[in-house]
Amino acid sequence: VAGLGNYGLRGTRHSVGMAVLDRLARQLLVAEGWRVDRRCCADVALAAAHGLELVLLKPRRFMNLNGLSVASAAKIYSLGPEDIYLVHDDLDKALGKVAIKLGGSARGHNGVRSCISALHSNEMTRLRVGIGRP
């Protein structure tokens, strides 16, 4: 599960994917387990839920390069695009509204575009979190 955002710009609207992952880590009781993984240039926490092993990933890059971290982590943890969930902001959704999307285009989102390019696939499941238009 990759929370897309701009590293170093915590708390901004476009980094809501990272905030969602912080909340998920607390829910899964692994909030203290974040560690820097230099191999994929990301903060990583390992968790388990409902019999599944989860890799929580927050890239330590700007949004338009998030895909490099996601693709590196996919290789390290032997994950295919269909195993990856991207959590990212969506300007076209009202604040707080959430939608799940399987595959398709990036819809203008630079972080998703970066992931599609780096993974050579658009088969990732996406959790789109509404931030509305300014």
For 33, the token pair is: 């387990």
What does the pLDDT look like over 7-33, one tens digit per residue? Answer: 988 888 889 999 999 999 999 999 999
The confidence score (pLDDT) of residue 98 equals 97
Question: Would you say 119 and 81 are in contact if contact means Cβ atoms under 8 Å apart?
Answer: yes
Residue 87 phi/psi, 5-degree rounding, is -110, 120
User: Percentage of the chain surpassing pLDDT 70?
Assistant: 100
Instruction: Report the largest interatomic distance among the alpha carbons of the chain, rounded to a whole angstrom.
Output: 40
- 88 assigned to active site: no
C-alpha distance from residue 133 to each of 1, 60, 93, 94, 109 (Å): 25, 25, 8, 8, 14
Residue 8 is predicted with a pLDDT of: 87
- pLDDT less than 50: residues of the chain: none
pLDDT of residue 10: 80
In the prediction, which pLDDT does 134 show?
82
pLDDT at 11: 83
Domains of the chain (ranges, CATH numbers):
2-130 (3.40.50.1470)
What is d(CA 29, CA 114) in angstroms, rounded to the nearest whole number? 30
Residue 104, pLDDT score: 93
| Residue from 107, 22, 40 nearest 79 by CA | 40
Q: Helix, strand or coil for residue 124? A: coil
* The one catalytic residue among 14, 88, 109, 120: 14
Cα(81)–Cα(73) distance, rounded to whole angstroms? 11
